[in-house]
Amino acid sequence: MLTGVTAQAAPAANCPGHPDALGTSRTLVVDPRQYPLIGTMQYAKTLPLEDREVVLTFDDGPLPKYSNQVLDILAAHCAKATFFLVGRQANANPEGVRKMRDAGHTIATHTQTHPGNMNRLTLDRAQKEIEDGIASITAALGDGTTPAPFYRIPGLGRSDVIEAYAEAKGLQIWSADFPADDWRPVSAARVYDLAIQRLEAKGKGILLLHDIQPRTVAALPRILSELKARGYRLVHVVPATPDRPATPTEPSQWQLHPISEQVATSRWPRIPNFAYTATATLPAPALSDVDWRNTAPADRAQRRALRDALWSRQVTLVLDPPALPVPAPGVFKLPESIRVTMLYSPPSAKAERIAHAHAHEVSARQAPARAGKGKHAARVKPAKKNAAKNAVRVAGLKKR
């Protein structure tokens, strides 16, 4: 903590009229060709930052209404940032581009029209977007200089085609290490919360913001003040030139969290270089000792015969099936005491109605025949009403 405060004291003291300014702790010079893809949101590498160092980046400008306010806030903190500008915006507001340059910020590119489907464009269209964006910003600068060879893909819509073209052109593609989601319809308080929470989770890195959003303008002063209160330091990134060599770095510094000496694997002892007093020379094996092909017969029939000799053939065993005794006839006879009884089950109401109707129908058909038999006609009896009750159904068999 003391180291962080000391590192910030000098830059803040050089910000006249703003004793509480965050300031810019140092300038980092990078060679875009050394690591052409940075930002751990998408890539394995990021800028070679120390712990609690932050790089501010802004996309989509310039838009005078909000970009000028962002520049004023940064000036009040003597903070330097990198602006990824849209070519069409630069054509409409060249004064804003020059104002960013004159304030000492790094001017980078963000295509010509900010297409939302950059990763699905053909190579020709993607190339035109990149080239036109660089040309528009170069024209807006108006002094013959070109923007820094830093490029951010709109919407971070990366593709192998874009990355290969950018690397061939000497451009360094910047993703980010954490965003604040200020392009979404959220409050300024939410932008502040996300920026600080995600920075605390990472410990350092590239912060992605947008200088065309009112919520960013509202959240930025609080973000910068909180960075200073928590001991963070601001780093300004510029490209290397023949007159300005790249800052010396180690490959591990380009990792967000390089392997620390606190990790056990990094502290394991290395294998020492032993000095042997004497070594025994073993004879080299003969080629015939390892050439197994010389022992195999060349002819297919010989190989088959060798296989049959080495491996047992499949043997089919024929076994006599076991003879079971024939069952005696008495096994199937039932004892004399076993009787089968019909089990009675009362008929259902439906069956009773059907039987009753059937009895009436039979009685009606028999009545005229019996009436013509003289004296026997008087013996005809009507069907009993309870005839249906005599209907039975077999429910099963029961042994007793």
Catalytic-role residue among 77, 105, 110, 210: 210
User: Among this protein's residues, is 59 annotated catalytic?
Assistant: yes
Cα(348)–Cα(350) distance, rounded to whole angstroms? 5
- Helix (H) / strand (E) element for 75: namely helix 64-76
Cα(170)–Cα(150) distance, rounded to whole angstroms? 9
The CA distances from residue 16 to 13, 62, 188, 236, 262, in Å, are 7, 26, 28, 19, 42
92-98, long-range: CB < 8 A, 24+ apart? 93/62, 93/63, 93/64, 93/67, 93/140, 94/139, 94/140, 94/142, 95/64, 96/61, 96/62, 96/63, 96/64, 96/67, 96/68, 97/62, 97/137, 97/140, 97/141, 98/140, 98/141, 98/142
Catalytic-role residue among 59, 60, 177, 211: 59
Q: What are phi and psi of 209, to 5 degrees?
A: -135, 175
Q: Contact, 93 vs 60, CB < 8 A?
A: no
Q: From 172, 181, 238, 189, select the one nearest 207 (Cα to Cα).
A: 181
DSSP E strands in 142-232: the ranges are 150-151, 172-174, 178-179, 205-210
Q: How would you classify residue 203: left for phi > 0, otherwise alpha for psi between -120 and 50, otherwise beta?
A: left
Tokens of 249: 């770095």
Q: Contact, 216 vs 182, CB < 8 A?
A: yes
Q: Which residues are catalytic?
A: 59, 210
